Structure 1
Amino acid sequence: MDVTELRVALFTGNYNYVRDGANQALNRLVGYLLKQGAAVRIYSPRTDKPAFPSVGKVVGVPALALPGRGEYRAPIMIPPRVRRDIAAFDPTIFHVASPEILGHRAVSLARAHGRPVVASVHTRFETYPRYYGVAFLEPLVLAALRRFYRRCDAIVAPSESMAQLLREQRMSYDVGIWTRGVDEDTFNPARRSMEWRRSLGIADDEVVVGFVGRLVMEKGLDVFSDTIDQLQKRGVRHRVLVIGEGPAREWFERRLPQAVFAGFQKGEDLGRAVASADMLFNPSVTETFGNVTLEAMAVGLPVIAARATGSQSLVTDGLTGRLVRPGGIAAFADAIQQYCDDPDARRTAGAAGREASRRYGWDQVNQELVDTYLRIARQRAAGGRAPRMGPNP
């Protein structure tokens, strides 16, 4: 079997109705597969006002808005019309991108028809309860995730650190890597614009600490704002630039009244915004990769990040930035203060990050997943069995 014989059925809870790093990676993957001669069909909730045009043919599935997070939609079933479409498409492999109802139903359907399943892991769902006051639910979420992933033939993680965590959590016996790429035309140091900074009221001699991402609590907004409080108490001169939108914006604005909120940016505007900061501060522990971390490195910024999955596979502590114990407010403040006070250290770390980012080309990383598809499909064609769900440890 080669790539032109692949017929990939992709199931995801969000393909393009809200823009995030995961669904943009999925769209890039579909584009790459189509370019290589594979057939692809996407099954996902749809909306009349998508965040960006989708790549490939999307078949809509019923979904309901998530309580308290109405921008996201939860698929609730695979109705008969969609089942008929799947049967007519006759996929050689199923790819499930989210462990919700749609993903579970897709895995069951694949197993019923003897088709292999590859699952991609895009976020650390088991960490979410701690941000919404229900941390006691984390073991239950872990158990549910383990049950889901163990029914798949293989899972792929976007970083080696995340893959190792999945192995330690015993999520699967076959864990591979499907990392992320960066578009160097969009993210490069030449995008930096002092004129754009001035238009936001940022002085040329102010050191800008950037935050990039959706404004939701699980991105570590509390840690970010507590760290900025520390910098202010120390009298460290800086300016915070927040790039992104989300339901927690009002809370974040109240916590950081002196910050500049640039709102949602995309394409070349996003490249300009990221490059116009002087460093990126990413305290999140929920990422499995950290697209914004790689994009910041590509434009030549030092990155201060939590020592967590994703970031620790990208940032080399002391070379391209600093890795700090999650939640370590004082240590985060120390690292940021160093880069605020020492422009040579900023430039040196930024240049090292720029060089490290060159290893991440989209075609190369997508081919790694295609190779996994082919390996799993060949194993099944050679008589390999669907995985049996072992006991939860």
Structure 2
Amino acid sequence: MGLISGGLKVCLLTETFPPEVNGVSFTLAKLARGLSGLGASVKVLRPKRAYKGADDEPWEEIDLPSCPIPNYPQLRFGLPCASRLCDLWQKERPDIIYLATEGPAGFSALRIARKLRIPTVSGFHTNFDLYLKHYRISLIQPLVDAYLRWFHNRTSATFAPTDWMIEELQNKGYHNLRMLSRGVDRELFSPKQRSEKLRSNWGVEREDKVIVSVSRIAAEKNLDLTCSLAEQMIETGKAQAGVIVGDGPELKRLKQKFTKLRFTGCLSKQALAEHYASGDVFLFASVTETFGNVVTEALASRTPVVTYDYAAPSEFITEGVNGYLASINDEDKLRVNLREILSKTGDELSEFKRAARRSTDKADWNQIHEKFQSDLLEILHQVKENQVKSVSPSSGTQPHPA
């Protein structure tokens, strides 16, 4: 389009990034790696942390001022940093900035980018407004809703991962929404990872049923319901084991409350893949996801899913084919669905498992990366055109280069 010479220069600003373990961190690393593979120059701006990630990644990481997040010592919160960003971007101007956080660092970035006339886009990665009731501060939800809408509508486009999420945001007054879906690593998350040795460690036989769930162990993930349903199925003989994978501030409490379940804590990628594939049903009761990477990872592992009908499940799960869906917060239906899928045996269960794997056939990160870069270039072209149109021909003033 005549805008970029020598490759797209992208600046990605986030508050979480590998080696931190969560869905947003994983997704942003995939996007950075994908854009780099397409020839883009990627700089990642993130809160300064005490430990370093891998040194062989194709992007440059730049530290920003930060402070620890309560209950999450491994995570840090970005602080206001307008002067730091202004210096960085005046010395080396990016073509476009992707804002993955709406916090103080994101606000600083939005303000300075507008001052320097650098195009910005944003990603809607976290339903912070839905988290509030889980931390007993739901009274401020209208203010948070208004701020998030204002923030994202100040950028040239907001990327969301599903049609469901885009419709939700449109209904809340968000503009200029674009799709940025999520892929899944089908080589890693595969039925080949199923481990009879692991199942033996769980104390189950080949034909026994194991419920698996993977999540950050936090209040907003609705894990009391997940654990309660899993224990009910064990107590009634519908399942023989329940395994909860993940770490977080609620882990100690849940371990003490649900003594029939196994809690693994944080796992390596390889061990995580083995846990997905070695389960027979994946149960996920969270209602605060923007996507839900764990759902597609379970499906790719050939593990049918029982969850709520929104976000990724609404696009990847076909009722009664590769899993079961309940309306959001319909706990009774979720229980019925879990009992139903645990009753499947033989050929019927095998077909569910095959359908689960097939449902992720098109979750291809390479295609997602190509479309993302194409969208960024299109947005840059639109910004350039708008800048030209905004300048009066008679004034002789030239627009700031995009």
Q: TM-score, normalised by structure 2?
A: 0.90
Cα distance in 2 for partners of 1:71, 1:138 equals 26
The Cα of 1:71 is off from its aligned counterpart by 3.1
User: 2:147 pairs with 144, 150, 154, which one?
Assistant: 144
Contact 1:162 1:288 in 2 (8 A): yes
* Shift in alpha-carbon separation, 1:266–1:159, aligned structure 2, 3 A: farther
What stretches of structure 2 of length at least 5 have no aligned partner? 390-402
Report the more deviating stretch, 42-51 or 183-192: 42-51
* Shift in alpha-carbon separation, 1:308–1:135, aligned structure 2, 3 A: farther
Q: Percent sequence identity over matched residues?
A: 25
User: 2:238 pairs with 220, 236, 260, which one?
Assistant: 236
2:286 aligned partner: 284
Contact 2:231 2:261 in 1 (8 A): no
- Residue 254, structure 1, aligned to residue 284, structure 2: no
- Residue 56, structure 1, aligned to residue 59, structure 2: yes
The Cα of 1:186 is off from its aligned counterpart by 0.3
What stretches of structure 1 of length at least 5 have no aligned partner? 387-393
Contact 2:81 2:108 in 1 (8 A): yes
User: 1:357 pairs with 347, 354, 360, which one?
Assistant: 360
Cα distance in 2 for partners of 1:49, 1:232 equals 40
The Cα of 1:45 is off from its aligned counterpart by 1.0
Residue deviations 1:139-182, cap 9 Å, x none?
221111111111111001111111111111112x2111111111
1:219 aligned partner: 221
Q: RMSD between aligned alpha carbons?
A: 2.2
Structure number with higher relative contact order (C-alpha < 8 Å, ≥ 6 residues apart): 1
1:390 aligned partner: none
Contact 2:23 2:293 in 1 (8 A): yes
Instruction: Provide runs of 4+ in structure 1 moved above 6 Å.
Output: none
The Cα of 1:284 is off from its aligned counterpart by 0.8
Q: Secondary structure at the match of 2:386?
A: coil
Cα distance in 1 for partners of 2:14, 2:62 equals 11
Give the partner amino acid of 2:188: T
The Cα of 1:234 is off from its aligned counterpart by 4.3
User: 1:188 pairs with 187, 190, 193, which one?
Assistant: 190
User: 2:112 pairs with 100, 109, 113, which one?
Assistant: 109
The Cα of 1:111 is off from its aligned counterpart by 0.9
User: 2:343 pairs with 313, 332, 341, which one?
Assistant: 341
User: Across the two proteins, how many residue pairs are aligned to each other?
Assistant: 386
Contact 2:48 2:76 in 1 (8 A): no
The Cα of 1:63 is off from its aligned counterpart by 0.5
Cα distance in 2 for partners of 1:15, 1:240 equals 30
Cα distance in 2 for partners of 1:76, 1:17 equals 20
1:297 aligned partner: 299
Give the partner amino acid of 1:38: A
User: 2:44 pairs with 38, 42, 45, which one?
Assistant: 42
Cα distance in 1 for partners of 2:360, 2:37 equals 24
Q: TM-score, normalised by structure 1?
A: 0.92
Contact 1:230 1:333 in 2 (8 A): no
* Shift in alpha-carbon separation, 1:159–1:50, aligned structure 2, 3 A: farther
Cα distance in 2 for partners of 1:216, 1:367 equals 34
* Shift in alpha-carbon separation, 1:315–1:350, aligned structure 2, 3 A: same
1:130 aligned partner: 133
